Structure formats: C-alpha cells, structure tokens
Amino acid sequence: MKGLISKLLLEVAADYYPWSPTCTTKDLSTWLENKGVNFDHVVHTLKHCIGNLLETMGEGLANAALERPVHTLKFSIMRDIGAMLSETFQGKDGHSLSHKLGYNQRQYDQFVSKDPTNPGYEMLRHWATNNGNTVRVLRNKLRELGRDDVISHLAKSIRGK
C-alpha cells in the first residue's frame, strides 16, 4: 500500500516539483522533509482517506444509506440477511453476531425459539428497534465478524441491484 501511496504522491506532486523520469520516492520524501512535511505522516493520512473512500465505494453505500436506521430496511432485506446469518458459517453466524450486538446466550436462545429456521432475522428485528442502530453500525459489526458476503448483500439490496 505504501508503494501505491508513494506513486500517487509522485503524480500529485508533479505539478509542484520539476520531476525527472528517474525521480524516486526517496526524492519525494527528501523534498517534502525540506518543506517541513513529514513523509510518513502524509502517507498515513492518505491511507486513512483512501481507505475511507474505498470502503464507501466498494460497498456502494453513500453516507445517507449508512446512517439509515436498520428498522427502516425492507422486510425482505432483513429476512435475507437473517437467513444468511442463521446458516452455520465457521463461527461467523448469527450466534456470534448476537454477542457483538450485545446479546447473551439466553437472549439468543429466545430468538431461536421464536423462529428456529431464521433466528438471525428475529435477532436483527429486535436489535433494529433500539435507537442508534444504523446500517453503518450493522455493517461494522458484520465486518468485525468477517462477513463481507452479508455486507455485500446488504449493499446490493439497499441499492436495489
């Protein structure tokens, strides 16, 4: 990633510095240091900005969609996500997510007793009723769980694709 960031910096800096075709990242670093700019700080900042941009672009969800309360999602989206989470998936299922969402074993068992075939939906439906539970929060919890497949489905469903 640092190499990519360095190449990007070289491209951007071309407008401000007379680069030769043999200019290197070291040249750029030295030039920035002479201007009083810490090269590693610039790289770190760009990584953060580009990471945020790629995160949003990769999922195709605008900030407005991410700030949407989960309870406003269509029933079909909640049901599908719940079903994906209800399947056993290498310790990355609804049971694992329930702990990340703040539920204990007894509470999860209640979701299972309400709907043994789709306890993930029951859990999401209950969790969605709490204020502050946005699509962003759900996405972040799914990311912690390593369920990019569910995140991708969520994004496509919200976009209507």
pLDDT tens figures, 132-149: 799 999 998 988 888 888
For residues 45 and 88, state if they share a domain: no
Give the integer Cα–Cα distance in Å for 121 and 19. 57
Section 44-59 average pLDDT:
55
For residues 54 and 82, state if they share a domain: no
Residue 138 lies in domain: 63-159
Q: How far are the Cα atoms of 56, 68, 121, 158 from residue 63, in angstroms, in the given order?
A: 8, 9, 24, 12
CATH number at residue 122: 1.10.533.10
Which range has the worst mean pLDDT, 17-21, 64-68, 83-87?
17-21
For residues 69 and 134, state if they share a domain: yes
For residues 99 and 125, state if they share a domain: yes
For residues 152 and 74, state if they share a domain: yes
* Residue-averaged pLDDT of the chain: 77
For residues 25 and 6, state if they share a domain: yes
pLDDT of 108 over the 80 cut:
yes
Q: At which of 20, 37, 59 does a domain end?
A: 59
The reported pLDDT for the residue numbered 54 is 47
